[in-house]
Amino acid sequence: MLDDLTIIDKIDEVFHIYFLNDRFILKKTYWFRMKFNSNYQLKPQVEENITEIGWISVNRVDEFIKYTYLSLREMIRKAITRLEH
């Protein structure tokens, strides 16, 4: 699967906090712009209560961003700006 993935550049590093199993979790995530050419079946990270995942068009981001952690929204907008240039 990784043979089908190319990292183009790093977008950002983001800290976010979420509640899981009666405690707060601080998580640092690294975000990259990538190119992926495969039909690989995506799997949700259910241990973090992520139950549904999928690819969407950049034109549909506004439909979904309201369900995203506040700490990730700016990073998503930053990534979209890079796609436009």
Locate all alpha helices (DSSP H) within the chain, ordered by sequence: 61-64, 70-83
Beta bridge partners of 34: 7
Residue 75 pLDDT greater than 80, yes or no: yes
pTM here?
0.64
The Cβ of residue 70 has, within 10 Å, a number of other Cβ atoms equal to 7
State the greatest distance between any 2 C-alpha atoms of the chain, in Å, as a whole number.
43
How confident is the model over 52-71, as pLDDT tens digits?
Answer: 888 888 899 999 999 887 87
How confident is the model over 2-30, as pLDDT tens digits?
Answer: 678 899 989 989 888 888 899 999 989 89
Domain map (residue ranges) of the chain: 2-83
How confident is the model over 24-52, as pLDDT tens digits?
Answer: 999 898 999 888 888 888 899 998 788 98
pLDDT of residue 1: 59
